[in-house]
Amino acid sequence: MHIETLAIHSSHHPDPATGSVAPAIYLSTTFARRPDGELISNFSYSRSGNPNRTALEAAVAELEGGSAGFAYASGVGAIFSVLQTLKPGDHVIAPADVYHGTRDLLKEKAGWGLSVDFVDMDDIEKVAAAIRTDTRLLLVETPSNPMLRITDIRSVVRLARAAGARVAVDNTWPTPLFQRPLKLGADYVVHSSTKYFGGHSDVLGGVVVAALEDETTQKMREQQWTFGAVPSPFDCWLVRRGLMTMPVRLRAQAESAGKIARYLQSHPKVSQVHYPGLPDHPNYAVAAGQMEGFGAMLSFQLDGGEFAAVRTAAGLRLFTQATSLGAVESLVEHRYRVEGKTSRTPKDLLRVSVGLEHVDDLLADLEGALRKA
Ligand code: PLP
C-alpha cells in the first residue's frame, strides 16, 4: 500500500467496543488484572506500554519498513536511546554539521566514555578515513541541519558493514515519504516527531525504528521502560493523528520549497541557496538517487552578511521567527544566533521551514523583506 494509505490505516481501526472511529486516549497509568492475577490485555503499566504509544510505534515502524518502533518524549530522547545501546569506549562517527542538539548530546556522552568524531559525511572518503577498529555507530543526518548537505546512505552502510558497525539515520527532515533509510541498509531510523509527524507545533516527541528484531532491539525495548523517558498517551495520540496527514502536508510543503529555492537562487541579494532539489547543489546526484522528493527545508545566505540576514528575518510577516520546523506555519531562523558562540553555521545564513500557506503569498513576503534588507 502507498504511504498515504498506511499513514491513515496502520494500527488505526474503529474501536470494536464502541465503534469510535477516532481512537480513544488511554490516560490510565495502570491496567487491571483478573482475579487469578493474569493481565486482561498486553498492558500492565503505562511506562512499559500504553495503547496510544503502541499504535504510534507500530504505525511509524510500518511507514519506515522496520520491525519495531520505540517512542520517546522528544527527538533527542530517541537519539539518546540509540547511543545507550553502546558501551563506554565505543567510537561514534557523526556529521560535522549535525543538528546542534545532537552534537551537544554526543559531547555529553563523550564525557561518559564514548569517543566521537565529527566528520563531513557528504565526503565518503572522509568517513572511510575516520573509521577505527572500535567504531560501533555511524550516525547520519541527511539532509543535514542547517546546511542541507547530503550523505550517501548506501556508501555509509557499505563502510559500516565492513567495519562491524551499525548505521542510524536521522530521518526527521525527509520523513519516510521522501527517504527510506532502512531500505538502503541502515539499522535504525530516528525521528523528531515534533516536526512533520506532529506537524502543528503543538507536540514534542521522538521515535526510533529498528530494521531487525535482534539483541540490540530487545535491549532498546528494555531500556525504554527502564529509563522511562516515554511520551504521554495524549502526545502519542496527537502524533498519531498528525501522521495521517503528514504525506499530503509534506508533499505540498516540498513543492512550495522547490519554488522558493528557485526564486531565492535568482535573487540579486542572495549569495547561496542550500536545497538538495536544485541541480547545482553539490550533492544533487546523491540526493536524487536516494530521495523520492527533496523536502520542505532550505537555507540561504545573503550578500549583505549577518546584518542583512537578521534584517530579512525581521522584515518577514508570514514566516514566524522561531526555532523548530516541519509544521503548517512557515518559520525562519537565524541559526548562528540561536546556536550560540560554538555555532559552525555561517552568520549570513537563514534557515527556512516552508509551511502550508499559499506559495505566492510566501514569495511576496520574501520579496518584501529582501527589498528592505
Ligand atoms: N533531529 C533533527 C534533524 C532536528 O532538527 C531536531 C530538532 O530540531 C532534533 C533531532 C531534536 O528533536 P526534539 O527537539 O524533538 O528533541
Residue-wise pLDDT for 201-241, tens only, equals: 999 999 999 999 999 999 999 999 999 999 999 999 999 99
Cβ–ligand 1 contact at 74 (below 6 Å): yes
Contact in structure between 196 and 250 (CB atoms under 8 Å) = yes
Residue 303, SS3 per DSSP = coil
Cα separations (Å) of 213 from 20, 161, 188, 348? 33, 18, 11, 45
The answer, yes or no, to whether residue 63 has pLDDT greater than 80, is: yes
Q: Read off the pLDDT of each residue in 266-290 and give the average, rounded to a whole number.
A: 98
Protein residue whose Cα sits closest to atom 1 of ligand 1:
192
Give the predicted TM-score (pTM) of the model: 0.97
Question: Which atom of ligand 1 is nearest the CA belonging to 206?
Answer: 15
Number of Cβ atoms within 10 Å of the Cβ of 161: 13
E strand or H helix at 352: strand 349-353
Helices 215-227 & 75-83, crossing angle to 10 degrees? 130
Cβ–ligand 1 contact at 192 (below 6 Å): yes
Contact in structure between 71 and 228 (CB atoms under 8 Å) = no
Distance 193 CA to ligand 1 centre (A): 8
Distance 305 CA to ligand 1 centre (A): 27
- Ligand 1: which of 149, 169, 172, 189 to mutate, judged by most atoms within 8 Å of the beta carbon? 172
Distance 10 CA to ligand 1 centre (A): 24
For the chain, give the mean pLDDT: 96
344 pLDDT band (50/70/90 cuts)?
A: confident
Residue-wise pLDDT for 68-100, tens only, equals: 999 999 999 999 999 999 999 999 999 998 998
**Residue 326, all three cell numbers:** 516541519
Cβ–ligand 1 contact at 72 (below 6 Å): no
Q: What is the DSSP letter of 120?
A: -
Give backbone dihedrals phi and psi of 321, rounded to 5 degrees, phi first: -80, 105
Question: Which atom of ligand 1 is nearest the CA belonging to 101?
Answer: 11
Number of Cβ atoms within 10 Å of the Cβ of 230: 22
Residue-wise pLDDT for 3-60, tens only, equals: 999 999 999 999 999 999 999 999 999 999 999 999 999 999 999 999 999 999 999 9
* 304/54 Cα distance (integer angstroms): 50
The answer, yes or no, to whether residue 289 has pLDDT greater than 90, is: yes
Torsion region of 327: left, alpha or beta (phi above 0 gives left; psi -120 to 50 gives alpha)? beta
Distance 139 CA to ligand 1 centre (A): 14
* 237/233 Cα distance (integer angstroms): 6
Distance 75 CA to ligand 1 centre (A): 5
Of residues 76 and 343, the one with the higher pLDDT is 76
Protein residue whose Cα sits closest to atom 15 of ligand 1:
75
Sheet holding 166-170, edge to edge: 68-72, 206-210, 188-192, 166-170, 135-141, 91-95, 115-119
Cβ–ligand 1 contact at 273 (below 6 Å): no
* Alpha helices, H only, 196-304: 215-227, 233-265, 284-290
Cβ–ligand 1 contact at 99 (below 6 Å): yes
CA neighbor of 347 nearest in space, from 335, 358, 356: 335
CA neighbor of 244 nearest in space, from 72, 20, 18, 21: 21
**Residue 89, all three cell numbers:** 569506549
Cβ–ligand 1 contact at 144 (below 6 Å): no
Q: What is the DSSP letter of 199?
A: -
